[in-house]
Each structure stands twice: as structure tokens, then as C-alpha cells.
Amino acid sequence: MSGHSKWATIKHKKAKEDAKRGKVFTRLIRELTVAARDGGGDPTGNAKLRLIIEKAKSANMPQDNIIRAIKKGTGELEGVNYEEILYEGYAPSGVAIIVEVLTDNKKRAVADVRHVFTKLGGNLAEAGAVSWMFGHKGMIRASANGHTEDEILEKLIDYEVDDISVNDGVVSISCALKDLEKVKAAVESIGLKVEDAQAEWVAKNLMSLGNEEKEEKVYKFLEKIEELDDVQNVYTNLA
């Protein structure tokens, strides 16, 4: 169907490696805490929390850690007050990026993000500068198990799926946020193992630099941003 972002594949593989080392736990704890704070600690009535709990379990996070994070969000346990911030800007070569941050110190977060932008040739922009180039969608990734895009599309034809792509054995399926759980269940029902299901910023159109050296410079920039402690996710329109 539409073009595929190589960065999305890199992030997906990196997340699996991070999960093996337990590095992903800190980010998941923050997500659990904020989801419980905003929508309550009962996953049956909080779809966002329900998805993050599944994500945490897939990363082999201990149940006690999950429960504590939720209780910190609902106020049953003392916890940190995280603030959600969206930064927008341009990586080298004018590539648009969105940076999702969850932080307990806004000044530190913006200073760290700004430092990487300045040091590595990016340009931090005002709110709304690039977000119009993206859609906030539900994104599901699963093991393709040898299936092609057309085969998967045929099996999901009755569901509101926006886009399907298969790369390196992983199928990526985007849909409206409101349909995320429904499409996730459908993907599982056709025998595919879902590895990730969450809200993401998806570029409406991808740009190609056509130059390997320039692309590597952008990937280095994106990786440095994502390594920051307060950064949860980084999205780009680079093909």
C-alpha cells in the first residue's frame, strides 16, 4: 500500500532489544502511570491503560511493577507527576520529526532536546510546525509469518484498516485510533502474533533523501533524541 518508514522498522527492532535488557521498563512505567492518572486504574474501562499493560507484559515486566505504576497514577501510592509534551522540528536535510516526552522536569527536558537539535544540525520549531504532516493513528505490528500485504489485506477487508506494509518479516497496520483494539483483535484472530499496538504519529507522506550519507546523519540524529531519558517516542517523515 503506501510507502514504508525505515525508521519505524529500526525503532521496532531496537525496542525488542531494549526489552531484553530491561531498558524499556522506565518508559513503560511512565506510560502506565500517566494512563492510570488520566483514565483511572481499571483497565476494563481504560482502553489506553489496557493496551499499555499488554505492552508491559510482552516486555516481561513483573506484575508487581505494573501494579505499582498504576497505583502511583491513581494516587494510591506516592509517585512522580509526569507532564506530557510534544516537540516538533526538523532533523538534518529538513526531515520533519515529532518528539513525545514524559517528564517530571520540563526545563531539563527542553534543554536536553534543544541541545541535540543544536549539536546535530536540527531545528526545533514551534508547536504545529510539522504535526500537520502527520496523522495520530492506531498502529499495530505483528509477525507476518510469511504472509504478503495482499494476503493480510484480504483477511482484514471487513475492518477499517488505513494501511498495511510488510518489511523484514513484520507487518505494520495503521487504523483510526478508535478502531485500534478492534483491529488488533482481528489481526490476532487471523493467527498473527501482535508485538505492539499503540497510538503513533504517522507521516501522511514520506520523503526520500536519495543519499545514504544524508540518511545516516538523520538516523544518528533520531537515535540521539530517542536516547534522552525523558523522550518516549520519536516519529519522522523520512522514508
Closest CA to 65 of 53, 49, 76, 75: 53
Where is the domain boundary, 33, 52, 74? 74
Supply the CATH number for residue 55's domain.
1.10.10.200
- Looking at the fold, whether 123 and 165 belong to one and the same domain comes out as no
Report the domain count for the chain: 3
Supply the CATH number for residue 223's domain.
3.30.70.980
C-alpha–C-alpha distance, residues 209 and 228, integer Å:
26
pLDDT cut 90: percent of the chain above it: 83
The answer to whether residue 1 sits within a structural domain is no
- Looking at the fold, whether 160 and 211 belong to one and the same domain comes out as no
- Looking at the fold, whether 99 and 209 belong to one and the same domain comes out as yes
- Looking at the fold, whether 113 and 158 belong to one and the same domain comes out as no
pLDDT of residue 52: 96
Which phi and psi (to 5°) does residue 17 adopt?
Answer: -70, -40
pLDDT of residue 9: 73
pLDDT of residue 21: 58
Say if residues 185 and 173 touch (Cβ distance below 8 Å). no
- Looking at the fold, whether 116 and 231 belong to one and the same domain comes out as yes
Cβ neighbours around 138 below 10 Å, total: 25
pLDDT of residue 180: 96
- Looking at the fold, whether 34 and 145 belong to one and the same domain comes out as no
- Looking at the fold, whether 149 and 180 belong to one and the same domain comes out as yes
Which phi and psi (to 5°) does residue 13 adopt?
Answer: -65, -40
pLDDT of residue 50: 96
Retrieve residue 44's grid coordinates. 476494563
pLDDT of residue 117: 98
Q: Confidence band (pLDDT; 50, 70, 90) for 1?
A: very low
The answer to whether residue 215 sits within a structural domain is yes
- Looking at the fold, whether 28 and 63 belong to one and the same domain comes out as yes
Residue 202 has pLDDT above 90, yes or no: yes
pLDDT of residue 6: 76
pLDDT in tens, 141-176: 999 999 999 999 999 999 999 999 998 889 999 999
Where is the domain boundary, 74, 95, 123? 74
Residue 112 has pLDDT above 50, yes or no: yes
Residue 140 structural domain: 135-202
- Looking at the fold, whether 54 and 152 belong to one and the same domain comes out as no
pLDDT in tens, 67-111: 999 999 999 999 899 999 999 999 999 999 999 999 999 999 999
Say if residues 162 and 179 touch (Cβ distance below 8 Å). no
Mapped onto helix, strand or coil, the DSSP state of residue 133 is helix
pLDDT in tens, 12-68: 677 666 655 566 899 999 999 999 999 999 999 999 999 999 999 988 899 999 999
- Looking at the fold, whether 118 and 215 belong to one and the same domain comes out as yes
Cβ neighbors of 95 (< 8 A, separation 6 or more) are: 207, 209, 218, 236, 237, 238
pLDDT of residue 58: 87
The answer to whether residue 65 sits within a structural domain is yes
- Looking at the fold, whether 38 and 143 belong to one and the same domain comes out as no
pLDDT of residue 167: 87
